[in-house]
Structure 1
Amino acid sequence: MTDEKRLPPLLKLVLELGPLALFFLGNAYGDRFGFAEDHRIFAATGIFIVATVIALGISYALTRKLPIMPLVSGIVVVVFGGLTLFLQDETFIKLKPTIVNTMFGFVLLGGLYFRKPLLQIVLDSMFELDEAGWRKLTLRWALFFFALAALNEIVWRTQTTDFWVSFKVFGIMPLTIAFALAQTPLLLKHEIKKPGEV
């Protein structure tokens, strides 16, 4: 039986954040490549779709599997990004974070309802927690995903496209990191100790 291949943490981070960074750069500097100011978001969306597909391809080529959350997010990027380009309507790409986060929230809550904390499936290679720990962590992440979805709705409906793109890149990621770090006490409290560990 072969060991499961894993990406080095830095490469994993680049593959997950790279398409988002290119999306931001495409929107910020699209006019330098001949796109009118009100069409930069479409150039950025095209770049985002291509970069996302390439990142998923590289991840699969190196590990022979696709992580669930980036795969679902990637599918939504392609579908809603494609609608954005086809219909020339930026609303669809702006709805993508709302849809993905709401979907993740409902999937996690559904797993809890059926007594299957699905977050354990996604993260059990990183943490070993007792059953109560997985339940609490899953509920917290589900609520956080709903909060992100609501926040995205508020921002894209009340702010400019440029502000929304900046928020998507420089707002959501720091919020997610801060939330993840805030779960450290729960992780420490419910961690399953290996024999010999104190």
Structure 2
Amino acid sequence: MEEKKLNPVVKQVLELGPPLLFFVAYLKMRDQTYTLGGTDYDGFIVAAGVFVPILLVSIAILWKLTGKLSRMQVFTAVMVILFGGLTVWFNDERFFKMKTTLVYGLFAAILGIGLLQRRSYLAWVMSEFLPMSDEGWMKLTTRLALFFAGLAIANEVIWRTMSTDAWVKIETFGFPILMFIFLWTQIMSLQSHIIEDDSDKTT
């Protein structure tokens, strides 16, 4: 199926909407206990369970509108279904919190394996959107692998030592903001490696 262009605002709403809705749901439900099938669930567990279908609907809409899903979107959906399901099934919020560690850790491991092979898997995914020299891709991949590893470690420390309220806020806002700042600073620092389109030079 041919990929269709999507309004950037709509794309951002569909991508950022589910985490924000989870945050709002958690704030509304955190002090409540819900009894389902004879089992008591606290607000975090219910909010995590609600997050799964919300994310899947968002991804389905993206797929319908664009005709394509990125590997990261598919991977995220699988992880959310798996760990959201485990969270509700075992009535244990630790599964949902560990999901973030495993996602970032796996990203770091995948990029690291590519680096050991002297390859940039990041370039394989993003080179179409960001033309850059091989040296630039290797630098960005190395830095991003270390950054993901740092986020994985940070998430483990945060959820094990801080309150659930703090973890939810950092997960919803802290990590995404850090990611945005990191990527922005890297793109700025790697400007000399970005390959300009020849057509731009002739206009």
| TM-score > 0.5 by shorter chain | yes
Distance 2:76 2:2 in 1: 27
Deviates more, 1:23-32 or 1:93-102: 23-32
Contact 1:133 1:186 in 2 (8 A): no
Taking the TM superposition and a 5 Å limit, the aligned residue runs for 1:167-186 are 167-186=170-189
Q: What CA RMSD, in Å, does the superposition of the two structures yield over aligned residues?
A: 2.2
- Structure 1, residues 109-162: CA drift from partner, whole Å, max 9, x if none? 112222331111222232110110111111111111111111111110011111
Taking the TM superposition and a 5 Å limit, the aligned residue runs for 1:67-106 are 67-106=70-109
**2:201 aligned with 1:192:** no
Contact 1:16 1:70 in 2 (8 A): no
- Structure 1, unaligned runs of 5 or more: none
CA shift, 1:75, in A, is: 0.7
Give % identity.
37
**2:21 aligned with 1:22:** yes
Contact 1:98 1:152 in 2 (8 A): yes
Of the candidates 103, 121, 125, which is equivalent to residue 128 of structure 2?
Answer: 125
Query: TM-score with structure 2 length normalisation?
Result: 0.89
**2:10 aligned with 1:7:** no
CA shift, 1:33, in A, is: 7.8
Contact 2:26 2:47 in 1 (8 A): yes
Query: TM-score with structure 1 length normalisation?
Result: 0.91
Amino acid in structure 2 at the alignment position of 1:4: E
Q: Which runs of 4+ in 1 moved over 6 A?
A: none
